[in-house]
Amino acid sequence: MDVPDKPVEVDPRLMRASDADRDRIADQLREALAEGRLTAEEHAERLDIVYQAKTYAELAPVVADLPGAGAPAPAAPQPVRHDLPAPQAGSPNLVAILSGAERKGRWLVEPHTNVVTVLGGVELDLRQAVLAQREVTINITAVLGGVSITVPPGVRVLNSVTSVMGGCSLPSDDTVGPDAPVIRLTGMALLGGIDVKRLNADATTDSAAIVGRDFHARQRSLHREFREKQRAVHREFREQQRELRRQRRTR
């Protein structure tokens, strides 16, 4: 009499991890970094392991020594979570010439992002974004244009932008730890403006609209100032030309 084969039992820890699982562990690591439980180097090393992990067994050791971590392997297959989608990786370059561009939602902020706007506008919303590393750099070139950046609480923003008849507005620093995530701004604002606001992820659309109105009002003011200075330069040039013609006639 043949004995039927027993079904093969699969160890849940060997099941393939999803993008949502990896993002969940990455969120735990980011919280541990903000609380001072991990150094910046440890956070970077563990984050590399997380995004290279293929199974739950590879994810478990990453957070095993952190409070409330628990084992990431489920006892049974779990449905895919739709409330925490994987970050969308896009081009690290955003260009807006006589137009607008935006990036919002759950997106992956590369270590270095380039933003260029000429007579245009760019909006970056980082409240649901995932940073590729603890410190990222956003290099901005704003010529007669504007860049609006929204960051969540607990993120430090460092400004190294050179302003030429332009400006960069930053919110007050609300971070308490030296290992807080850092967004470093570099580049140049030539007759342009960079506006950084700090808002909670659940901020109302009314708050966002007020921020947008303030930002565009500053942009209109910069444009008016530019036109006035341009007219002054033209008047001075015409005066110089008239003076040159007068000198030639008197010779």
35 in Cβ contact with 60 (< 8 Å): no
Residue 152 near residue 198, CB atoms below 8 Å? yes
The angle at the Cα of 248, spanning 247 to 251, to the nearest 5 degrees, equals 90
Chain CA centroid to CA 26, Å: 16
Pick from 228, 83, 89, 214: nearest CA to 148: 214
Structural contact between residues 109 and 129, judged by C-beta atoms closer than 8 angstroms: yes
Per-domain boundaries in the chain? 8-86, 93-234
The span from the CA of 187 to the CA of 138, in Å, is 8
pLDDT values of the chain reduced to their tens digit, one per residue, 251 residues: 344 444 444 455 667 877 777 878 887 887 787 777 888 788 778 888 888 888 888 888 888 888 765 545 443 333 434 445 556 667 789 999 888 889 988 888 888 999 999 988 899 999 888 888 888 999 999 998 889 999 988 888 999 999 888 888 888 877 666 778 889 999 999 988 899 998 876 655 444 444 445 555 655 665 566 667 767 777 888 888 888 888 888 77
112 CA to centre of own chain: 10
- E strand or H helix that includes residue 150: strand 146-151
Cβ(147)–Cβ(194) under 8 Å? yes
**At 159, is the secondary structure helix, strand, or coil?**
strand
Q: What number of other Cβ atoms are within 10 A of residue 58's Cβ?
A: 17
